[in-house]
Structure 1
Amino acid sequence: MAAFVGASGSAFFAAQRTASVNVAVCGKAGVRRAVAPSMKVFDWKKRGAEAYSGRAEMGEMSVTTVIPAPGSRKRKTRKGRGVAAGQGRSCGFGMRGQKSRSGNPTRPGFEGGQTPLYRRLPKYVGRPMGPGHTKTMYNLVKLDILNKCAEGEVVTFDALVESGKMTKGKFKLAKIMGGAELTVKNLTVKAHAFTSSAVEAIEAAGGKCVLLSPTTGEDINMEELE
């Protein structure tokens, strides 16, 4: 056929084939149109009257008719339901190995036997109070304990432990607590801290409160501090 019509004939048939392809694709000969990208959210109903079809309060927004925004709730992945589904054969666990077995293969924070990160890092400052807290802890001495002392005695926490009036504490500092009546008079009480009620009770009984240094344990002259 090409030999019969010549070179011009073959060019004519090629042009006809190109025109037929353009018509099939675009609907018009010689016109090519770009397809605009679609922003449609699949598998969701349109918001509006269609979303409230079958509801008693159709068209009214209320607590019982509020629906999630399109695309805000993702569907759960169905695993083990065929290779074409994407998670069908091994369900994302691979072929073999520890992490492919049933149950939890390792505990949280496990790093294969080496010291994990949560144990390598230092602890918070001020434990057990929490990060950054530096609360001072005291051995508490109540006024009921001071009532067991003799009049005019010099009282310290170590002296109370040695005399058997108190048991040994786990802190280095001692604090005198109030909240009771002091019957023993003229006591000289030495401690690292006093409550205001304890100071009033000791001084009302003719006693004296001596503040000790938390570092050296020596007496602190309160007049010099003032």
Structure 2
Amino acid sequence: MELNTIKPAEGAKHAKRRVGRGIGSGLGKTAGRGHKGQKSRAGGFHKVGFEGGQMPLQRRLPKRGFKSQSLKFNAEVSLTALDKLGLAEVDLLALKQAGLVGQLAKVVKVIKSGELTKAVKLTGIGATEGAKAAIEAAGGSLA
């Protein structure tokens, strides 16, 4: 291969469509825009979602719900999951490595769901009132 023989891949390049250049070009006269109407005029187009004056779909349908963007940074861990984890000290990194919370999680809270038999020390992790009582009853602590 020589530098002077390099060519783009087959079909990668194609000629620009030149409109309004006479009958012989195949795109003369109306230049591919058809006859009359809003779409044939210069600058004649409508905004996205416009339906010719009919009430647009996005306005006909009722507004409903809201999904907070901060939800993806929050996560929950149950007492059962902590028990199965079997670590004496648990922090955010340990939970991420175990796959109990997502990689994006920044705020983690332990919820009272299931039982905890082992003593667990939580660092940088919150807990609900019931979960806190269950952790302390099992001999663990929160920091």
- TM-score with structure 2 length normalisation? 0.48
Name which structure has the greater RCO, CA cutoff 8 Å, separation 6+: 2
- TM-score with structure 1 length normalisation? 0.32
Larger Rg: 1
